[in-house]
Each structure stands twice: as structure tokens, then as C-alpha cells.
Structure 1
């Protein structure tokens, strides 16, 4: 059969083998890396059409390569084959341009790596890759030589796609678009120029042949790592964007809560005067209940940090509403290095996560939250503890969200950790028995104001009577 193909193609046989096999192998490699992307409708027909069209469009390139065997002509032919592969990828799979380009770069690099690794093994075994595809003998090629050849390529494509295939989506951003554009142009140019130059100089000497192949392999590995790094940076940038969006929401919520607190304090002040006038018309029990309720809502939490005062008042009311005992000892004067939004977000997320955890406890006596903020040595420590039941599932070093919509939740602890690391600190989570501990620390050098404030000690009243129309 091979003799018949040679008789039919004649002088075009070698270049037809090079260009058509390059197109088909690169397409197969791209298909491994594109597995996570959405397929277009009529995918099988599209794939068959893309393969057939690519082979037909390689025909004029084969003629050009054969009759004009110069470096510019070779570079043009292989660049055109790369373009055909990218168009085939975009024709069969559906995604944004950045995602397609990054998948194309990964697949091209993996193909280039494999395409040089196999002949390198041939050279190490003493066979010329320009004369045979076999790893075991020179001369006539057996059918099992072809089987081993294609099995090796497919195994490498699969292994590389498993190792370097991204696990997340690529979110749109200008920085990512620029990075992908630069990497794509650089990869396509260098890979195709390397193919053409290597074919020119590989036959010069064994040492030069080995150097060229090893360089191409290392370049392919480096490109794969670069693609993976872009995905990692993109995921980190997306998480930071989400955190900033949540902080903007927290800022609006803080301003609203602060305004409500001011209104509550004024109303409580008015209610004290009203209660003094009507106390004689109520029973002692009713008067004591009203006075207890007013004192609770009018409790002035003073930590030395106005934002922290607002957070603690807001969360204390939330705990009271859910029959949760909340105790806090905090020196807010050490927190002046944080912005108001960071303070509100940090303590709000810490207490909100604790409330969500203890709310699910079946025993009301275990619904207790403790919060401490104090200086310890060279660190400013924030410690929160509460009772906990069940298993603690971690996503990396952070707890996985228990909510169904993971795309919109799970950023609470991530936000806490991000704020701590911005100032050289960190967050640590520990589960001991039925107790959950969250510790956040900052170096005291980060605190721009540490002027002897007095810590606030706050203990929530366990049971506060409820009244219709309560403010």
C-alpha cells in the first residue's frame, strides 16, 4: 500500500506525509485539550468536515513546499497549517477567543513536545528519524511500528492533557487577553520556526540534532506551564474582583447599618423618657421586661473603633434574634490600619460564619459564640470559637461552602484570608473535638495606631423579651 501511495504522489510523497500528518496529529492533540469546552452542534459532522477540509487545503502547500524548498516557504506552510488547526478548533468547539487561543497554545506545545520526544528516543537507540519511524529496527516499516508510533503519540497527548489541562474557566479580563495574545503569537511563531529550522540543521551532526530536539522539548514544557500559569492568575484575579465587589456591597451595608444604629439609639433614648412617664401604669414585670429590652438595644459597645462597634452591635442583635449567646472582648484601637470596609468585612464574615454554624446545632445550650481581639507578643490576634458538629470539608486550606450555589458562596473565609495576607498576616482554622476555632493574626508592625485603648468586654443577655412593634 505504501508503494502505491508513493507511485501515486511521486515527488510530493515526503512533503504530503509531513504536512498532512502534522495537521492531523495536531488536531488530535488539540481535541484532548479541548475536552472541557462545549462542543458545537453536529460535532461529529463538523469534525469530519474540518479534517477533510484541512487535508484538501494542505495540497497547495505540499506543492509549494516541494518546488520552493526555502526557509521562508517552509515557515509559511507550517504557519498556514497552524492557522488551519485553529480554525478547525473554533469550528468544532464553542468558547471565547481567549479560551480557544490558550487551548490552541497548550495543544500546539504538547504536540511539539511529543513530536520531538519520539525521534529523540529513536536517536538514543541509534536510528535516524528521517529514515524510519521504528524504535527497534531500520529498513522496511512493519504494521506494528505504525501502531507503536501512534500509540506513543496518543499516550503522550492524553498524559499531557491530564497534567496541564486547566480545571477552571477563563474569565474575561484585559490583562488575561493581553497575556493570551502575547503567548499565542510567541508560541505559534517560535514553534513553527523551530520546526523549519530544526529540519534544516538536524542532519548536520548528531550533537546538533540532540540539542535542537531537547530545546524544542523544553520549550514545549515551558509553554505548557505558561498556559497553566495564565489560568491560575486569571482565577486569582477573578476571586479578587469578586471580593472587591463584595466589599463594595459591604460598604453600602455598613453605611445603612450605621444609620439604623443611630436611629435605634435615638429611639431608645426617647423610650427611656416615655417609660419613666408610663411606668406606674404597667406591672413591675412588664416594666422590667421593657427596661431590659431597651438596655439591650441601647447598649453602647465601645472598643475604640467606631466601625467595629457597629459590627458588634449588628451581630449581637442577630444573635439575640436567633437565641445565640455571643461574648466578645476586643481592643479596637489596634485595628486602625484596616480600612472601614475591611474591618466591617473581616469581623462581619467571622461572626456570620459562626452564626450560620451554631444555628444548625440541635442543642440550644451549645449555641454560643466567643470572639477575642487582643495583642499577643508581636501579633494582633483575632480568635473566634464556637461549638461544631459534623465534618469540616476543606477546599485547599479553606472550608468548602455548604451552600448549593458554590459560584456565589464560599468567599467569606477567602475574604478573611485575603485581608490578613494583605498586611503580612494569615488565617488558621482548627477543629478540636466539638469545638471550631478560627484564628486571624496580623503583625503588630502593621498597626499604625496602638495608643492604649481599653478593650471592650461584651456579654449578650441570653433571653430578651420580644414585644409587638419592637424597634
Structure 2
């Protein structure tokens, strides 16, 4: 009787455990599936961020090397620019009224105009970036107005200077190039100031395209949103490195980005 009772109890216990497992197992399976999906999504997101950062670093590295290559050319242009102006004035004084001479001088003046935007911000790399972007603006009839003092910003690394200024100016040029209304002026305005322990740079450009801004994030109409987001992520990453902040404002025909970076 004792033996039978033990066996009976074991059977009852087994049946209860089996029933419990049968009842709980679908829920356990669901939880396991949710965990696996979560791990998969997190892994995909992590891989996507990794690829994005690799593309950002690769782009910045290419920009940095390019600007260093241009440095020597810009230095030469600085040396000859003032001499060219003097030569042009002398030729004007000595020339006769021949139309061919006038045409020749005008052609030279047009060539000089493309190299007259030599900047002196206090940072060689930033000077080169502004010079290169100004040439693009001239080609696209965009008024490029810059007033930047970078003399107290030695703590900002060159790779971040390239990231912030190159990407923001490129975005501004792209927005201006979308303007097909002759009544809307195409312009880019960049000003900086030092105030209350912050270095503040204000980027303003005209535009015609609609921009959606939510939580200080830009939602673009571009088809390739992933690659378009790389530039903005690169800017934010560089600013965050210095505990800075990026603010975005938008109106019907104006787009404004303000960068605040604390400095000692």
C-alpha cells in the first residue's frame, strides 16, 4: 500500500507538472521569441550604427586630406592676390581705348574674382574650407557672406572643424540650389561670436523646400535618408565631443542652425 501510494503521488505530481508545463510553455516560448527578436533588432541597429560611423570617419578623413592638399595652393594665392590687383590697376592706367585690350583685362578680372575670397579666421583648415565652398557658391550664384573669428578655438580638433563646417555649408548650398524662384535670393550667411563662455556660430541660408523638424531632428524628403542622416549625425557627434549643442530653426524661406560650444 505504501509503495502504491508513493507511485500514485509521483504520478499525480508528474501530471500536475506536465499540465503546468503544457499551460506555461506557450508563454515561455513567446518570451523567448521576444528576447530573440530584441537581440536581433539590437544587433542590426548596432551594425547599422557601426557602418554609419565608418562612413562618417571615411568621409571626414577624405575631406581632411583634401583640404591639406589645397593648403599650399591657397598660400600661393594669398601671396599673388594683392600683386595681381596692383598689376590690373597699372594696366588700366596705361591701356589705350582698344576694345581687345578692354576685353582682355575684363577676362583677367573675372579670373581674379574667383580667387579673391581669401579668409583669415585664425585656423588654416577652416580658411581652406571656406575658400573651397565660396568657389562653389560663386559658380551657383549664391551670395556667400562669412564673418568668423576662430582664434580662441584651438581646442577643437581639425577633424571636427571639417565635420561641422563642411557638412553645414554643403547642406546650405544644396538648399539654395533647389530655389527656382527668381524673387527669392540665394544666400548663405555665417557669423560667429564669443559670449558668456560659449563660442556661438550661426549658419543661415535661404531655401524653398519644406523641412520637418521634430525634437531638434531633421526629417528629410530625400530618398536616401540613411546616407543623408550621416552628415547630421557627424555634426552632432563632433559638437557633443565638446559638450556643445546644436539648435535648428526653420521658416518658410529661411533655415537657421546655431552651434554652441563652451570654451575656457
Normalising to structure 2: TM-score of the pair? 0.75
Equivalent in the alignment of 2:112:
294
Report the equivalent of 1:56: none
- Alignment of 1:411 onto 2:230: yes
Give the SS at the match of 1:327: strand
Query: Corresponding residue for 1:307?
Result: 125
**Is the alpha carbon distance of 1:299 and 1:388 closer, same or farther for their aligned partners in structure 2, counting shifts above 3 Å?**
closer
Q: Which one has the largest radius of gyration?
A: 1
- Larger RCO: 1 or 2 (CA < 8 Å, sep 6+): 2
**Offset of 1:325 from its aligned partner?**
0.8
Match of 1:248 among 52, 61, 69: 61
Deviation (angstroms), 1:248: 1.3
Pick aligned residue for 2:38 from 153, 164, 168: 164
- Equivalent residue for 2:3? none
Aligned to 1:132: 19
Deviation by residue 1:80-103 (Cα, 9 ceiling, x = unmatched): xxxxxxxxxxxxxxxxxxxxxxxx
Q: Deviations over 1:416-457 (max 9, x none)?
A: 111111011121222233321111110123xxxxxxxxxxxx
Does 2:253 align with 1:434? yes
Alpha-carbon spacing, 1:272–1:430, altered in 2? closer, same or farther (3 Å): closer
Gaps in structure 1 of 5+ consecutive residues: 1-13, 19-127, 135-145, 171-230, 446-471
* TM superposition score normalised by structure 1: 0.45
State the 1:354 CA deviation: 0.4
**Aligned partners of 2:71 and 2:128 also within 8 Å:** yes
DSSP 3-state at the match of 1:335? coil
The change in CA–CA distance for 1:249 and 1:392 in structure 2 (over 3 A counts) is: same
C-alpha contact (below 8 Å) 2:208/2:252 kept by paired residues: no
What is the correspondence of 1:68-147 to structure 2 with a 5 Å cutoff? 130-133=17-20
Native 8 Å contact 2:175 2:209 kept in 1: no
Superposed, which structure 2 residues align to 1:206-221 within 5 Å?
Answer: none
Matches within 5 A, 1:365-376: 365-376=184-195
The whole-number CA distance in structure 2 between the counterparts of 1:285 and 1:402 is 48
Distance 1:242 1:396 in 2: 25
Given the superposition, is the C-alpha separation of residues 330 and 270 from structure 1 closer, same or farther in structure 2, using an over 3 Å criterion?
closer
Provide the residue aligned with 2:155 in structure 1: 337
Secondary structure of 2:126's counterpart equals helix
Q: Which runs of 5+ in 2 are unaligned?
A: 1-10
1:350 pairs with 2:163: no
- The 3 A distance-change label for structure 1 pair 400 and 254 is farther
**Residues 143-200 of structure 1, C-alpha deviation per residue, up to 9 Å, x if partnerless?**
xxx6x76664565456x26972544665xxxxxxxxxxxxxxxxxxxxxxxxxxxxxx
- Partner residue in 2 for 1:421: 240
